[in-house]
């Protein structure tokens, strides 16, 4: 019997040693990925929209190519050519369990009239979207993506008529994910289009996102000639979208039901963690003291 116990102890030791090496290798790989990213500070010339970005204090900016790498290759989202960059909170990185970002895109849809802003029934709009998303789920799953449930508003839609900025937040659940996703949307309107700034985060990170909304709202600045007030009805194109249409997501029809970005990479690592016990804490630097 003693020989059996000895053999089990030896095998267990070999397994734990191999497992530890795998954990170390994975942690090293994640650290190398993080260190390969170049975070910028200060004033950034955006590639579209004739605007500049004042990187908010406490954030770093990843350019277009790096952002596509993070969103598509690391986080498992479909490729989105409209992405201009990501704002990433300092010391969060993109591969930590509590990482979250603001994505920045621009869409030259034309001048968006805001006359309907005060007349929208957002409760009715929510019900319509819930129905539309449910109807689109079979096609999503056919294409290999998770079904989505729109749980409700995480933050009620609000339009700042003075600043010409619209914001709202949705609480989403991706099928098979125990953590609900926060989809916080900001739309900064200009003369010929709008900047789309979206928080990609979990609901548990909403307090941090909320605390960052004000500096992020003020971070994008249209240059002279491209501001909302510069609209010239004689020569400028008026968008077919309205404020209500933006909240409903109609403007994203060209990317259809794949428009919602999320941190799908976490699902893979959580699956590994369930097999490896303490792996999740070890690879994300959150091992308890």
Residues written for the chain: 289
Task: Note the pLDDT of residue 202.
Answer: 85
pTM, to two decimals? 0.77
Predicted confidence band of residue 99 (pLDDT cuts 50, 70, 90):
confident
- Taking the C-alpha atoms of residue 237 and residue 119, their distance in angstroms, rounded to an integer, is 24
Residue 254 has pLDDT above 50, yes or no: no
Identify the residue whose tokens are 């930590």. 96
User: Where do the domains of the chain lie?
Assistant: 37-264
Of the ranges 26-40, 68-82, 123-137, 208-222, the best mean pLDDT one: 208-222
Contact in structure between 202 and 182 (CB atoms under 8 Å)? yes
- Looking at the chain, list the stretches that DSSP marks H as alpha helix, in order from N- to C-terminal side: 2-36, 64-68, 122-142, 206-217, 243-248, 265-276, 279-283
Task: Note the pLDDT of residue 244.
Answer: 81
Residue 112 has pLDDT above 90, yes or no: yes
Q: Alpha carbon 221 to chain centroid distance?
A: 21
Contact in structure between 100 and 208 (CB atoms under 8 Å)? yes
Predicted confidence band of residue 281 (pLDDT cuts 50, 70, 90):
very low
Please give the CATH number for the structural domain made up of 37-264: 3.40.1000.10
- Taking the C-alpha atoms of residue 150 and residue 145, their distance in angstroms, rounded to an integer, is 15
Residue 257 has pLDDT above 70, yes or no: no
Q: In what order do the strands lie in the sheet with 101-107?
A: 59-62, 83-89, 101-107, 194-202, 181-189, 165-174, 148-160
- Taking the C-alpha atoms of residue 87 and residue 113, their distance in angstroms, rounded to an integer, is 28
Q: In what order do the strands lie in the sheet with 43-45?
A: 43-45, 51-54, 220-222
- Looking at 37-170, list the stretches that DSSP marks H as alpha helix, in order from N- to C-terminal side: 64-68, 122-142
Task: Note the pLDDT of residue 13.
Answer: 59
Task: Note the pLDDT of residue 97.
Answer: 78
Let me know the angle formed at the C-alpha of 53 by 109 and 94, rounded to the nearest 5 degrees. 95
What rounded mean pLDDT belongs to the chain? 80
In tens, the pLDDT along 230-249 reads 999 999 999 988 888 888 76
Say which range, 42-46, 103-107, 260-264, 266-270, has the weakest mean pLDDT: 266-270
Give me the mean pLDDT over the 205-227 stretch: 93
Identify the residue whose tokens are 């406490």. 58
CA separation (Å) from 245 to 32, 84, 182, 184, 257?
42, 23, 20, 16, 15
Residue 2 has pLDDT above 60, yes or no: no
């Amino acid at each position: 019997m003693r020989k059996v116990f000895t053999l089990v102890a030896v095998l267990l030791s070999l397994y734990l040693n191999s497992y530890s090496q795998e954990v170390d290798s994975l942690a090293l790989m994640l650290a190398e990925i993080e260190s390969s990213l170049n975070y910028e500070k200060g004033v950034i010339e955006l590639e579209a929209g004739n605007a500049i970005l004042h990187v908010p204090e406490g954030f770093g900016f990843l350019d277009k190519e790096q952002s596509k790498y993070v969103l598509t290759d690391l986080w498992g989202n479909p490729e989105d050519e409209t992405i201009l960059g990501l704002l990433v909170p300092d010391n969060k990185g993109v591969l930590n369990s509590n990482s979250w970002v603001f994505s920045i895109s621009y869409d030259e849809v034309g001048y968006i009239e805001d006359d309907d802003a005060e007349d929208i029934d957002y409760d009715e709009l929510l019900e319509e979207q819930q129905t539309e998303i449910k109807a689109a789920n079979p096609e999503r799953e056919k294409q290999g993506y998770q079904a989505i449930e729109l749980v409700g508003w995480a933050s009620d839609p609000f339009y700042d008529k003075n600043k010409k900025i619209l914001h709202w937040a949705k609480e989403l659940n991706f099928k098979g994910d125990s953590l609900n996703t926060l989809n916080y949307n900001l739309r900064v309107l200009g003369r010929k289009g709008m900047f789309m700034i979206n928080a990609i985060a979990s609901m548990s990170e909403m307090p941090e996102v909320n605390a960052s909304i004000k500096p992020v709202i003020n971070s994008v600045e249209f240059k002279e000639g491209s501001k909302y007030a510069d609209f010239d009805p004689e020569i400028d194109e008026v968008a077919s979208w309205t404020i209500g249409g933006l909240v409903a997501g109609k403007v994203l029809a060209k990317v259809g039901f794949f428009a919602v970005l999320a941190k799908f990479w976490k699902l893979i690592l959580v699956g590994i963690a369930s097999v490896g016990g303490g792996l999740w804490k070890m690879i994300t630097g959150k091992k308890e003291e």
